[in-house]
Structure 1
Amino acid sequence: MKYIKDTLQHTDQVMQTYHVNSLLAKVIESKNMGLREYEKFVSPHLIYHDFSLFSEADLALERIHHAIEEHEKIAIYGDYDCDGILSTAILVQAFKELGVEVGFHIPNRFTDGYGLNVKRVKQMAEKGYSLIITVDNGIKANEAVEEANRLGVDVIITDHHAFNESDELPDSQAIIHTKMSVDYPFKEICGGFIAYKLASALLNHHDKYLYSLAAITTVSDMMPLVDENRSVVRRGLQFMNEEHYEALELLKGNGDYTTTTIGFTIAPKINSFGRLPEQIHPNNLVKYFLKEADPRLRKAVGKKAIEINGLRQAMTTKAYNEALKEAHDKCMFYASSEIHEGIVGLVAGKYAREFERPAFVMHYDAKKHLYKGSARGVNGFNLYDFLTQNASLLEGFGGHALAGGFSVSEEHFDDLRLALLEHIGDKTFRNEELVIPIDKEELSIPAVASLDLLEPFGQSNEAPIFLLEDVHIDEYRLLSEGKHLRMNINTSHGEVAALYFGQGKQRDSLASQDKLNLIGSLSINEFRGDKTVNFIVKDVVTNL
């Protein structure tokens, strides 16, 4: 990781204009946040764009209302990730509150694949369903929609994924998509938030619980936390912390609900069901999130979520260690019939983060002579461009600059590897991160607490990373039997605890230096009513 010290030149001016302390002023300046944008950020007013702004909103609502009036059978067809599972739960719950029991299906990523397919359409038609509503699974299921039309089944598509304007769109009853709606002012919302908007339009009111589920999907799908996304997450976190919904409590563990809790605890547990569907069908997770879920089911699924997530973590660690045994000096290009297809993306992501190099990880299907994989790009290596340039070697691919999926035949496996090595050549990749220089005397409790005004942090509103430059450490203390290191820094406001987790072994080498450059984040710790400032150390660097 390469750190770049932000050159701040207008801190005093920001302090005066925005009426803020120097610490917050530096963050505002670093984010290039104008006064009007800052005022919108700290305003308690929520941003919410109504469902009616979607171009085909009326078509969708009219068809659904007609189906309800005529007692037609309706099915919700979701996706196997957190966004798709919760999108499905949101709509199933909304219909329940309208007195309508709908069918639903979360596809198996290995047998069903991504998106609506012909086989499932036929099955739903045979069961008497005459309306299918898709959530979070794309707008490219032309063949499946064509089959539905032939069988007399209408399809309403709701989605948020990118698409090419030149693509032929399915002949569906309606498509609800921000990027196809000229009047919809903010395009980057996830499937769960779109499902919530449809649900609230059907119910004619907002719902705290369903709104909270939409907040989780917004974080899990890594949507930019600006505009209405910021509002749904901020207010959703408030609802979750106030209401303590049982379905979420069983997944959360200890502590408050934060974007970190959602991103690193709740969402991975939900995603693990889709990654390892042989353990338990993800449809059970939809039932789990319904308001009136059977308590026995909820406890069983909640317990299973922890178990499956633990299994997923163990499988990922084992596969990653196996992959590292092969040469990876320029990139990771690894395939095995032993690696579970559901974790290839996790292994690739782990390598890309740790080594800052591209990663291609594949499961080999011996029966089909096919490699199905997931890849991760890094700064300086655009994955989507590489896949596009080598499309002739691939059976199929999709994704974006930093993440994607692909499949390659046995015949072209080595060709793809050689193309990747040639593309990389002698390049080295290094991620860059901007750090905000601060002085220890700026670290008062009120100043650090003021950073909460800019939360929740996430995509497009990243948490600030700070640089404490040339700081003297007044005391070194080992924690947890030497596992962690605490470095105390005395200031005029009191003691600041710089916590370096997992780095207790570095105490002697760091203590031998007169001053340190610490890079990390700020938080406030409260214990028995006493508040202290913590500086969570990410790295210690010699120079920038």
Structure 2
Amino acid sequence: MAQLSFSPAFRILLAKRGFKNDSEIEAFLFSDLSSLHDPFLMKNMKEVKARIERAVQTHEKILIHGDYDVDGITGVAVLARTLEKLGGEYTTFLPERERDGYGVSEAAIHKAKEQGVALIVTVDCGITAKREIEIARSHGMDVIVIDHHRLPAEGLPNTHLILNPLQEDCPYPFKELSAAGLAFKLSQALTGDEAFEYLDLVALSTISDIAPLTGENRILVKKGLAMLSERKNLGIRALAEVAKMKASQVNTGHVGFILGPRLNAAGRMSSADTALQLLLTRIPREAESLAKILEEENKARQRSERETTQEAMRKVEQTVNFNRERVIVVESPGWHRGVIGIVASRLVEKYERPAVVISVEEGVGRGSGRSIKSFHLFNALRSCEAVLEEFGGHAQAAGLTVTEKNIPLLRAKINAFAMEHLSSEDLKRHVSVDMELKLHELTAGFLEELELLEPHGVGNPRPVFQTGDLRFKSKPRRLYGETYEGVLTDGSLNFQIHLNEKQMLLCAASGSEARFGAAYSLKTKQWNGMKILTLVVKNLQPA
């Protein structure tokens, strides 16, 4: 292998990210679809493949049972397209948040029995559905579980047809696939390389579910983003058009802030079936109509989110004692269950601590929690198991059901856990800096090298650099909202910057010759055929 030629600054950055020799660097930067793991390394894949092939060959009816978020919707879409290719007979079911709640629906199982379904495939749910799967099996139906969530402490459901790489004896090397990623691996086992045509759906899922963009996910998302940029899926093309997303190259930001929220809006505000139909339609006019519906659903979601966030913040200011409570727990009747997860994220951003937001109806609270990096929310909820009806999720995000009378006990127990596992230092906002740079090192060649690190996300964040002895060329001006625009200089080079209101006030309170150290990430945009570089300030300190 020829030695890779990179700038010294890029080599230092790669080493700090853990890639110190050329083989490690090449594997991270240049792995492609040929580097994907064999799907048959996953426990039970051979048996699941055989069961689906038997259902197709004998014309058994199959129910694909998903979830109402982007991961569950796209996972169902991947399997629906795969079964179409194989000639299978299938129907789909996506739960409605208000009507069915989270997880496998018992009502859907009974209806499937009435419709003559012989095989149920759950996607993005099922790993905790012991009771519901027993009901399905008692009706003579087999159940395949495709679920990436953590395994329940009380044991797995009574089916040997489980695809989840977190199973203790599963030899599959990569453990962080989304549910749609797992559906893709099954599709790959069933159809080979033909499954690659679904990677745009896998990218939507992986980014929207905030899965780590490392290992196999990095490969899947890189290819999936390229497919999204081609706009081959009619529904995605229509959704991009109504959202006025004109970028020719789709990146993780476009998925996370434009496409993903609109697909999620259907499941948050009404029925996720609208989003599924959009992803599956082959009729341009239908795609346009469904995309417009999702756009309106997203606007309704934004209004509800704003109102609920304002109410929740008022409750926090009025009721939370930050000296005693390291985890925010707020509840109220009337909050829309479709937005409480987003509201929890807003509280985490503002108060820099974990937050659980609970919507109460008829004595039952259904909550959604978000956390900070240093606090494992799922483990925290496990410590509160005695006062919860049910719970599930990950380290950074979780859902729960709790009776209204037990909410004070939940608040007390989760904060008792936090006092042992969350220090006051953990609650301070930290900016993780990759390396120090001089402004003259921000060359065109270095910027091109940085593009090789994309896509960015959890596990592969956008690099943050530190430069000292800088001063402002002029007073920053408001760009939009709480974002300000200014120019920093080291005396030789000038760079446009974006900074927040707090940083702007620090600048305004300092003299014109004041010197600063800045931690920043880099953002480029095309303007009249030229690349414009902006330093996005993460932290600003007087020198």
> Does residue 534 of the first structure (1) align with residue 528 of the second (2)?
no
Following superposition of structure 1 onto structure 2, how do residues 460-479 of structure 1 map, counting pairs within 5 Å? 460-476=459-475, 478=477
The answer to whether the 8 Å contact 1:399/1:405 transfers is: yes
Q: CA offset at residue 464 of structure 1?
A: 1.0
Q: 1:98 aligns with which of 86, 104, 109?
A: 86
| Separation (CA, whole Å) in 1 of partners of 2:383 and 2:503 | 46
> Does residue 137 of the first structure (1) align with residue 137 of the second (2)?
no
Alignment-derived partner of residue 288 in structure 2: 299
The TM-score normalised by the length of structure 2 is 0.88
The TM-score normalised by the length of structure 1 is 0.88
The answer to whether the 8 Å contact 1:214/1:232 transfers is: yes
Q: CA offset at residue 496 of structure 1?
A: 2.5
The answer to whether the 8 Å contact 1:379/1:431 transfers is: no
Q: 2:274 aligns with which of 259, 284, 288?
A: 284
| Separation (CA, whole Å) in 2 of partners of 1:388 and 1:144 | 22
Alignment-derived partner of residue 109 in structure 1: 97
The answer to whether the 8 Å contact 1:118/1:144 transfers is: yes
Alignment-derived partner of residue 262 in structure 1: 255
| Separation (CA, whole Å) in 2 of partners of 1:385 and 1:173 | 27
Moved more, 44-53 or 305-314: 44-53
Alignment-derived partner of residue 347 in structure 2: 351
The answer to whether the 8 Å contact 2:95/2:105 transfers is: no
Q: CA offset at residue 95 of structure 1?
A: 1.8
Alignment-derived partner of residue 514 in structure 1: 514
Moved more, 369-378 or 129-138: 369-378
| Separation (CA, whole Å) in 2 of partners of 1:517 and 1:314 | 39
Q: Which amino acid aligns with 1:300?
A: S
Query: Helix, strand or coil for the counterpart of 1:33?
Result: coil
| Separation (CA, whole Å) in 2 of partners of 1:399 and 1:54 | 22
Following superposition of structure 1 onto structure 2, how do residues 39-188 of structure 1 map, counting pairs within 5 Å? 39-46=26-33, 47-164=35-152, 167-172=154-159, 174-180=161-167, 182-188=170-176
Q: Which amino acid aligns with 1:112?
A: D
Q: Give the direction of change, closer, same or farther, for the CA distance of 1:536–1:127 in structure 2 (3 Å limit).
A: same
The answer to whether the 8 Å contact 2:70/2:260 transfers is: yes
> Does residue 432 of the first structure (1) align with residue 420 of the second (2)?
no
Q: CA offset at residue 356 of structure 1?
A: 0.7
Q: Percent identity?
A: 28
> Does residue 371 of the first structure (1) align with residue 365 of the second (2)?
yes
Query: Helix, strand or coil for the counterpart of 2:220?
Result: helix
| 1:235-284 Cα distance to aligned partner (Å, 9 max, x none) | 1112222345332233332223101111122111111211112xxx2122
| Separation (CA, whole Å) in 2 of partners of 1:50 and 1:189 | 14
Alignment-derived partner of residue 214 in structure 2: 226
Alignment-derived partner of residue 361 in structure 1: 357
Q: CA offset at residue 171 of structure 1?
A: 2.8
Q: Which amino acid aligns with 1:254?
A: K
Q: Give the direction of change, closer, same or farther, for the CA distance of 1:28–1:310 in structure 2 (3 Å limit).
A: same
Q: 2:311 aligns with which of 304, 307, 322?
A: 322
Q: Which amino acid aligns with 1:247?
A: G
Moved more, 203-212 or 339-348: 203-212
Gaps of 5+ in 1: 1-16
Alignment-derived partner of residue 11 in structure 2: 25
Q: CA offset at residue 118 of structure 1?
A: 2.8
Q: CA offset at residue 33 of structure 1?
A: 2.0
The answer to whether the 8 Å contact 1:117/1:143 transfers is: no
Query: Helix, strand or coil for the counterpart of 1:110?
Result: helix
Query: Helix, strand or coil for the counterpart of 2:202?
Result: helix
Query: Helix, strand or coil for the counterpart of 2:99?
Result: coil
Q: Give the direction of change, closer, same or farther, for the CA distance of 1:539–1:245 in structure 2 (3 Å limit).
A: farther
Q: Give the alignment's Cα RMSD to 1 decimal.
A: 2.7
The answer to whether the 8 Å contact 2:439/2:467 transfers is: yes
Q: Give the direction of change, closer, same or farther, for the CA distance of 1:417–1:485 in structure 2 (3 Å limit).
A: closer
* Number of residue equivalences: 520
Alignment-derived partner of residue 13 in structure 1: none
The answer to whether the 8 Å contact 2:281/2:287 transfers is: no
Q: CA offset at residue 224 of structure 1?
A: 1.6
Q: CA offset at residue 351 of structure 1?
A: 0.7
> Does residue 201 of the first structure (1) align with residue 178 of the second (2)?
no
Query: Helix, strand or coil for the counterpart of 1:205?
Result: helix
Alignment-derived partner of residue 234 in structure 2: 246
The answer to whether the 8 Å contact 2:65/2:76 transfers is: yes
The answer to whether the 8 Å contact 1:444/1:533 transfers is: no
Q: CA offset at residue 422 of structure 1?
A: 5.5
The answer to whether the 8 Å contact 1:117/1:141 transfers is: no
Alignment-derived partner of residue 311 in structure 1: 300
The answer to whether the 8 Å contact 1:488/1:495 transfers is: yes
Following superposition of structure 1 onto structure 2, how do residues 351-500 of structure 1 map, counting pairs within 5 Å? 351-365=347-361, 367=362, 369-379=363-373, 381-420=375-414, 428=424, 429-435=427-433, 436-476=435-475, 478=477, 480=479, 485-489=484-488, 495-500=494-499
Q: CA offset at residue 503 of structure 1?
A: 7.7
Q: Which amino acid aligns with 1:386?
A: A
Q: CA offset at residue 444 of structure 1?
A: 1.2
> Does residue 335 of the first structure (1) align with residue 354 of the second (2)?
no
Q: Give the direction of change, closer, same or farther, for the CA distance of 1:236–1:510 in structure 2 (3 Å limit).
A: farther
- Which structure is richer in relative contact order (CA contacts within 8 A, separation 6 or more)? 1
Gaps of 5+ in 2: none
The answer to whether the 8 Å contact 2:471/2:490 transfers is: no
